[in-house]
Amino acid sequence: MSSSFTRLRRLRTTPSMRRLVAETRVDPAQLVLPMFVADGIDEPRAIGSMPGVVQHTPDSLRRAAAEAVEAGVGGLMLFGVPDPEDKDAVGSAGADPDGVLNRGLRALRADLGDSTVLMADTCLDEFTDHGHCGVLDTAGRVDNDATLPHYEAMAVAQARAGAHVVGPSGMMDGQVAAIRAALDDAGFDDVAILAYTAKYSSAFYGPFREAVGSSLQGDRRTYQQNPANRLESARELLADVEEGADMVMVKPALSYLDVVRDVADRTDAPVAAYQVSGEYSMIAAAGERGWIDADAAFDEAVLSIVRAGASIVLTYAAVQVAQRLR
């Protein structure tokens, strides 16, 4: 007896059957854990708006990084949180070999060698007293071309400190080409660039501002993309690939899965997507209240991001997701 309609439910009957026909699989090696290392603290400091995430001391950073590698996470993305008095108009502490981020990179590379992929956030905003991702002109606007030499110096310092990958997240035009040339000139032609290709001006970065003690007043709409735009990301992609990006990224992830798919369809380069602070905190906070099963929601979010076309996912839940996958 055959029924007249298609029986799709046959392939959903048992866990083994569902596993056999799964179209998307997530592996811990695809996950990248963003981490914060801060100056001037003796103990890891909880970030109130990101339950379960902390600003690390140098020691706790090393322990947590080792734990992440042990869990099978594929990479670490490091952000620095300097002392407020070390911030200035041009973000000098970012390129200082003794700045908090570069010290953190050196320690992690010494501990971990090539056992993971060590990535560095290459942006001025954590280090500038005004909190913008670039330097300002006399009218107070972010000056694209005057910013590039600062990114170059920062990227070279990060490479020297041991980063395998630099991640320019400032959305200045020409930043990938400028950084590539500077790295090559300094002899770091093996250091890769993870380009923040499609980075939208997003409310979902809210908790990150607390995480890095950002000084920003106002917004980043003159350099980050308008959430209304999809085709613009294709143009950003063309520019970044032409400039020498080794990997490209879409950020945030969950509200931009159409963009993840577009970018994946248009390039053969590895595509990353960043589940940002606000995406993390929404799930974590609802989980704390018992309104949602946070573990299941994180697993589903990561799976969805991979299904949309990302082969690399940056997520603050990387270790927990990786441990559940084992």
Task: Enumerate the active-site residues.
Answer: 199, 251
Residue 83 structure tokens? 């002392």
Q: Is the N-terminal amide bond of 168 cis, ω within 30° of 0?
A: no
- Assess 317 for contact with ligand PBG (CB under 6 A): no
- The least CB distance from residue 275 to ligand PBG, in Å, is 8
Residue nearest to ligand PBG as judged by C-beta position: 208
Neighbours of 9 (CB within 10 A): 7
- Assess 277 for contact with ligand PBG (CB under 6 A): yes
Q: Is 289 left (phi over 0), alpha (psi -120 to 50) or beta?
A: alpha
Q: Which is nearer to ligand PBG, 16 or 226 (CB)?
A: 226
- Assess 64 for contact with ligand PBG (CB under 6 A): no
Of 169-188, binders to ligand PBG (CB under 6 A) are 169
User: Mask of contacts with ligand PBG, 104-133, x by CB under 6 A?
Assistant: -----------------x-x-x-------x
- The least CB distance from residue 223 to ligand PBG, in Å, is 9
Residue 286 structure tokens? 């609802």
Of the candidates 194, 129, 133, the residue with the CA atom closest to the CA atom of residue 158: 194
- Assess 236 for contact with ligand PBG (CB under 6 A): no
- The least CB distance from residue 93 to ligand PBG, in Å, is 14
Alpha-carbon distances of 309 from 64, 244, 304, 306, rounded to whole Å? 29, 21, 9, 5
- Assess 208 for contact with ligand PBG (CB under 6 A): yes
- The least CB distance from residue 229 to ligand PBG, in Å, is 17
Burial 132-165 (b: 16+ CB within 10 A, else e): bbbbbeeeeebbbeebbebbbbbbbbbbbbbbbb
Q: Which is nearer to ligand PBG, 36 or 190 (CB)?
A: 36
Residues interacting with ligand PBG, by CB under 6 A? 121, 123, 125, 133, 169, 205, 208, 220, 276-277
